[in-house]
Structure 1
Amino acid sequence: MSLEPTGRETSAAFAGAVRSFVARECGSPEQRAQLTDHGREAHSSPICHKLGELGWAGVAFPERYGGSGGGVADACVLLEELAYGQVPVFGLGISMIVGRTALRFGTEQQRHEIIGSVSRGEVSAIAMSEPEAGSDVGAMRCAARHTGDGYVVDGQKTWISCAPYAERILLVCRTGATGRKHDGVTMLEVPRDTPGVEIRPIDTLGGREVNDVFFTGVEVSADRVIGVEHQAWRQLMAGLNFERLVCAATFLGNARRAFDDTLAYVSGRRQFGRPVGSFQALKHRLADLATELECCSLLVHDIARRTDDDPERQLPREASMAKLKATELAKAVTVEGMQMMGAAGYTTEYDMERQLRQNIVGTVFAGTSEIQRDIIGSSYGL
Structure 2
Amino acid sequence: MAIDLTDEQRAFTEAVAEFAKRQAGTREQRDALTDGGRHAHHQGTYQQMADLGWIEGAVESMTGTVLFLEQIGYGLLPVGGFPVSAIVAAAVARSGSEEQKKTVLGGFTGGRSYSIAMSEPEAGSDVANLSCRAVADDDGYVINGQKTWISNAHFADAILLVARTGGAPGDHDGLTMLLVPADTPGLRISGIDTMGGKEVNDLYFTDCRVPADAVVGTAGKGWWQLMAGLNVERLILAGLMLGTAQRAFDDTLAYIKERKQFGRPIGTFQVLRHRIADLATEIECCRLLVRRTAELVDRDPSRVLPRESSMVKLKTTEVAREVALAGMQMMGGYGYATEYDMERHVRATLVSTIYGGTSEIQRDIIGKTYGL
The TM-score, its normalising length taken from structure 1, stands at 0.95
> How far apart, in 2, do the equivalents of 1:261 and 1:10 lie?
28
Is the counterpart of residue 354 in structure 1 residue 308 in structure 2? no
Q: Which residues in structure 2 correspond to 1:1-382 (within 5 Å)?
A: 8-61=6-59, 70-177=60-167, 181-382=171-372
Letter in 1 for 2:13: A
Three-state SS of the structure 1 residue aligned to 2:287 is helix
Residue 350 of structure 1 and its aligned partner are, at CA, apart by 1.1
> How far apart, in 2, do the equivalents of 1:57 and 1:244 lie?
19
For the 8 Å contact 2:321–2:349, the answer to whether it is kept is yes
Three-state SS of the structure 1 residue aligned to 2:93 is helix
Letter in 1 for 2:139: D
10-19 vs 118-127, which moves further: 10-19
Decide whether aligned partners of structure 1 residues 104 and 281 sit closer, same or farther in structure 2, where only a CA change above 3 A counts: same
For the 8 Å contact 1:126–1:160, the answer to whether it is kept is yes
> How far apart, in 1, do the equivalents of 2:130 and 2:369 lie?
25
Per-residue deviation, residues 270-307 of structure 1 (Å, max 9, x unmatched): 11121100100100000000000000000001111110
For the 8 Å contact 2:130–2:170, the answer to whether it is kept is no
Residue 58 of structure 1 and its aligned partner are, at CA, apart by 2.2
Residue 60 of structure 1 and its aligned partner are, at CA, apart by 4.7
For the 8 Å contact 1:60–1:96, the answer to whether it is kept is no
Residue 90 of structure 1 and its aligned partner are, at CA, apart by 1.2
Structure 1 unmatched ranges of 5 or more:
1-5, 62-69
> How far apart, in 2, do the equivalents of 1:188 and 1:60 lie?
25
For the 8 Å contact 2:310–2:365, the answer to whether it is kept is yes
For the 8 Å contact 1:124–1:167, the answer to whether it is kept is yes
> How far apart, in 1, do the equivalents of 2:322 and 2:301 lie?
32
259-268 vs 7-16, which moves further: 7-16
Letter in 2 for 1:231: K
> How far apart, in 1, do the equivalents of 2:349 and 2:79 lie?
15
Per-residue deviation, residues 36-87 of structure 1 (Å, max 9, x unmatched): 00011111111111111011122355xxxxxxxx211101111110110001
Residue 7 of structure 1 and its aligned partner are, at CA, apart by 5.3
Letter in 1 for 2:201: N
Per-residue deviation, residues 304-346 of structure 1 (Å, max 9, x unmatched): 1110111111111001111001110111001100000111111
For the 8 Å contact 1:174–1:186, the answer to whether it is kept is yes
Decide whether aligned partners of structure 1 residues 180 and 164 sit closer, same or farther in structure 2, where only a CA change above 3 A counts: closer
> How far apart, in 1, do the equivalents of 2:218 and 2:58 lie?
23
Residue 224 of structure 1 and its aligned partner are, at CA, apart by 1.0
Pairwise CA RMSD of aligned residues? 1.2
Residue 99 of structure 1 and its aligned partner are, at CA, apart by 0.6
Three-state SS of the structure 2 residue aligned to 1:165 is coil
> How far apart, in 2, do the equivalents of 1:142 and 1:180 lie?
12
State, as a whole percentage, how many aligned pairs show the same letter: 54
For the 8 Å contact 1:48–1:57, the answer to whether it is kept is no
Letter in 1 for 2:267: G
Residue 347 of structure 1 and its aligned partner are, at CA, apart by 1.1
Three-state SS of the structure 1 residue aligned to 2:57 is coil
How many positions carry a matched residue from both structures? 369
Three-state SS of the structure 1 residue aligned to 2:338 is coil
Letter in 1 for 2:228: A
Per-residue deviation, residues 137-182 of structure 1 (Å, max 9, x unmatched): 1001100001102000000000000111100000000001169611
12-21 vs 160-169, which moves further: 12-21
267-276 vs 133-142, which moves further: 267-276
